[in-house]
Every structure is written in C-alpha cells, then in structure tokens.
Amino acid sequence: MLKMKTFVFFIYKCIGFALQRTVFFAIFVGVFIQNLRKSTHLYMRSWATIAAMLGVFTAAFGGQPWKLRLHQPEEKIDFCLDLYEESIEVPGLEAFGPMNGYLGGNIYGVWYVVGFDIKDDKQATITIANDLGSEDQKLTLTQTSDSTYQLKFLGYNAVKRAQGKKLVKIPSELKMTTKK
C-alpha cells in the first residue's frame, strides 16, 4: 500500500497546479485505486490506462502559454509564436520550413524568431531577425492579463515601418492582445 500512496503522490506532483483542482483528476485517481484493490490482473492494465490518461489530461489542461497569435490593432502588427516547436510557416520564407514564429504586418519586411529564453509562464526573451538576416533585435514579451501582452524591444529598436518614402521606427513598447 505504501507504493500505491507514493505513486499517487508522484502523479499529483507531476500533473501540477493545472490539474490538482480538477474534478477529472480526483475521479481518475479514485477509479484507479478501486480497480487496483479489486484484482491484481487489472494492475497491468491500470498502469497502461494511467499513462494514457495522464497524457490526455496534461494536454487538455496543462496549456501552452507560449503558443500565441498576438495582434496590435493601432500599429497593425501581428506576432505569431510557438516556442514549443517549429510549427509556424513564415510568410515569404516558406522555403526555410516551419519556424518558432514571426513578427509581421505593417512593418518593413518580416522578422522571424531565431532564439528565445522562456523565463516562466508570464515572461520570455525572444530574439528576432529580419528576412534579409542583416539585423536582429531582442525583445521581452510579458503577459499582463489573460489576453494582453506587453512587447518591449531591448536596446536599439531596429524594427521599422514604411511611412511615405521613409522608414520610421515603431514604438519600443507595444501592448498586444491575443488574436482568435
């Protein structure tokens, strides 16, 4: 019985905060313990079931805070991100395959993600480069509410937009919202 308690505690810690408050998790652990007490034959099936269920619950409730589509309506700028895998096709750079994201819209060229450092679920530092590869720019992206993010360019702001016949800098801080 000690092994069972240790196993349940391990599952509880692995699933973390996102699942510890769900009804599904409580029902799942209860059913697992009841089946295990009934028969040792169900023991092996229960292990397979628990592994499958943990994957489903983690995917459904764990969330991926750095898989986003952000929009800045005043400047008409979009920021598509997936910091978990290279899954985003960058417009104009399809030949390079999927990447982690890009900054585009009403700016000069397309800036694609070349590096990142996830600090936590609320803040990440991202490095982007222009489509020519001649300039790069570091920025921080901080979640301020459920659907609002603050984008701040670090150092010299190299991202510009065309205004008439001139290139002008965009603001060094942008308030972005999630795009459906």
Can you read off the two tokens belonging to residue 31? Answer: 């059913």
Distance CA 148, CA 30 (A): 38
The CA-atom distances, in angstroms, between 134 and each of 109, 129, 152 are 12, 8, 21
Q: Say how many CA atoms lie within 13 Å of 16 toward its Cβ.
A: 7
Q: Partners of 83 in the beta sheet?
A: none
Can you read off the two tokens belonging to residue 29? Answer: 């652990």
Q: What is the pLDDT of residue 20?
A: 41
Q: What is the pLDDT of residue 43?
A: 55
Specify the pTM.
0.66
* Tens of pLDDT, residues 104-129: 999 999 999 999 999 999 999 999 99
Can you read off the two tokens belonging to residue 145? Answer: 């509410």
Residues of the chain with pLDDT below 70 are 1-62, 180
Backbone angles phi, psi at 147, to 5 degrees: -125, 10
Hey, how many other C-beta atoms are within 10 angstroms of the C-beta on 36? 16
* Tens of pLDDT, residues 146-159: 999 999 999 999 99
Domain ranges (residues) in the chain: 2-61, 67-178
